[in-house]
Chains A and B, each alone.
Chain A
Amino acid sequence: MSEIELVDIQAGYGRAAPVLRGLSVAVPAGTIVCLVGPNGAGKSTVLKVASGLLAPRTGAIRVGGVDMTGQGPQRMLANGVAHVLQGHSVFPEMTVGENVLLGAYTLKDKARVAARTEFVRGLFPVVADRWGTLAGLLSGGQQKQVEFARSLMVDPKVVLLDEPSMGLDPKATSTVFEQVVRMRDAGTAVLLVEQNARRALETADIGCVLDLGRVHISGPAAELIADPQLGELYLGGRPAEPPVKPKL
Chain B
Amino acid sequence: MHSLETVELTKAFGGNLVLDKTSVSFQHGKVNALIGPNGSGKTTFFNCVTGLIRPDSGRVSYAGADITRRTPHAIARAGLGRTFQLCRVFPRMTVLDNVLAATRPRGANLLRGARGRAETDRARGWLTKLGIEHLAGIEARNLSWGQQKLLELAGVLMSEPETVLLDEPAGGVNPALLDRIGGLVRDLNAEGRTFVIVEHNMDLVMSISDHIVVFDRGRPIAEGPPSMIRTDERVLGAYLGV
Contacts and interface: CB of A to CB of B under 8 A. Distances in A.
B239 A169 contact: yes
Interface centre among B39, B85, B138 (most CB of A within 10 A): B39
User: What class of interface size applies to chain A in its complex with B?
Assistant: 35 or more
Nearest to B238: A171
Contact of A174 (B142, B150, B241): B241
B161 to A, nearest CB: 23
User: What class of interface size applies to chain B in its complex with A?
Assistant: 20 to 34
B176 A170 contact: no
Interface string A175-208: 0000000000000000000011110000000000
B240 A168 contact: no
Contact of A163 (B38, B131, B145): B145
A195 B146 contact: yes
Contacts of A39: 144-147, 150, 172-174, 177
Interface stretch (A116-124, A148-156, A234-242): A234-242
Nearest to A173: B200
B107 interface: no
Contacts of B172: 39, 86, 163, 166, 195
Contacts of A174: 241
A234 B173 CA distance: 12
Contacts, number: 95
Interface in A83-142: 86-88, 133-134, 137-142
Contacts of A197: 175
B94 interface: no
Interface in B146-196: 146-147, 150, 168, 171-177
Question: Which 6 residue pairs of A and B lie closest in terms of their CB atoms, listed nearest first?
Answer: A141-B38, A39-B146, A139-B39, A171-B241, A237-B176, A139-B38
28 contacts: A38-B176, A39-B146, A39-B174, A39-B177, A40-B135, A41-B144, A43-B144, A44-B144, A44-B145, A87-B145, A88-B86, A134-B14, A140-B86, A141-B37, A166-B172, A167-B168, A167-B171, A167-B200, A168-B38, A168-B200, A170-B200, A170-B202, A170-B240, A171-B240, A174-B241, A234-B176, A235-B176, A237-B177
Interface of A: 13, 16, 37-41, 43-44, 86-88, 133-134, 137-142, 163, 166-174, 195-198, 234-237
